[in-house]
Structure 1
Amino acid sequence: MTAAVSRLRSSVDRNEKRKQQRSRLPAVSIAFGTLSVASFWVPGLGFLLGVAAVVCGAIATSRSAVIDDEAASLRALLGVVAGAAGITVSAIALFPMLADL
C-alpha cells in the first residue's frame, strides 16, 4: 500500500514540476503583440511593443520547455506574428504623421 502511495506522490510531484517549468514568454509575447496592434496610433509605442513581442516570441521559441510543448510553441509564434502586425500597422500609421511635420 505504501509503495502505491509513494508512486502516486512522485507522479503528482513530476506534474507540478512540469507546470512550474512552463515558460511565460509566449504569453508575454502575445500580450505585447496585442498591445502593439491596439496602440498603433500612439507614435512609437505600437512599434516598440511590436519589437518587444517579436523578441519575446523569438526567445521563447529557442527555449527547450517551449520546444517540447506544441501549444506553447504556437503561442510564441502567434506572439511573433502579432508583433510583426503591430510593427507594420504602426509604420503605416506613422507615415501620414511624418508628412505633417
Structure 2
Amino acid sequence: MTAAVSRRCSSVDGNKNRKQHGSRLPTVSIALGALSVASFWVVGLGFLFGVAAVVCGAIATSRSAVVDDEAASLRALLGVVAGAAGITVSAIALLPMLAHL
C-alpha cells in the first residue's frame, strides 16, 4: 500500500515539475536579450543576439504551454523587449561607424 502511495505522490510531483519547466524559450529569450544589450559595442554581435531574442520570444509566446503560464508569458515578453532594446542600441552604435566608411 505504501509503495503505491509513494509512486502516486512521485508522479504528482513529476507533473508539477514538468509544468513549471514546460518551455525554456522564454528564459533563452531573456538571456539573448541581455547579451544583445551587453554586447552592443561588438560590431553586429549585439544586433544578432537581439534578433535571436526577438525570434525566441515570439516563438515562445505562440506555444500553448507558455500561453497558459502567466509567468512564462511575461518572461517571453521581457525577452522580446530586451532583444528590441539590444537591436536599437546596436543600431545607434553602428551608425557612427557606418558614417566613416
Give the TM interval when normalised to the shorter protein: 0.7 to 0.9
Could you list the runs of 5+ residues in structure 1 that have no partner in the other structure? none
Could you list the runs of 5+ residues in structure 2 that have no partner in the other structure? none
2:68 matches 1:43: no
Are residues 7 and 86 of structure 1, via their aligned partners in 2, closer, same or farther at CA, if it must alter by over 3 Å?
same
Q: Matches of 1:86 and 1:37 in 2, distance apart?
A: 4
Deviation at 1:9, TM superposition (A): 4.1
Alignment of structure 1 residues 54-73 onto 2, 5 Å: 54-73=54-73
Q: Matches of 1:87 and 1:94 in 2, distance apart?
A: 10
Q: Which residue of 1 aligns with 2:12?
A: 11
Deviation at 1:43, TM superposition (A): 1.0
Q: What is the percentage of aligned positions where both structures have the same residue?
A: 78
Task: Report the number of matched residues.
Answer: 100
Q: Secondary structure at the match of 1:42?
A: coil
Q: Which residue of 1 aligns with 2:24?
A: 24
TM-score between both structures, scaled by the size of structure 1? 0.88
Q: Secondary structure at the match of 1:77?
A: helix
TM-score between both structures, scaled by the size of structure 2? 0.88
2:29 matches 1:33: no
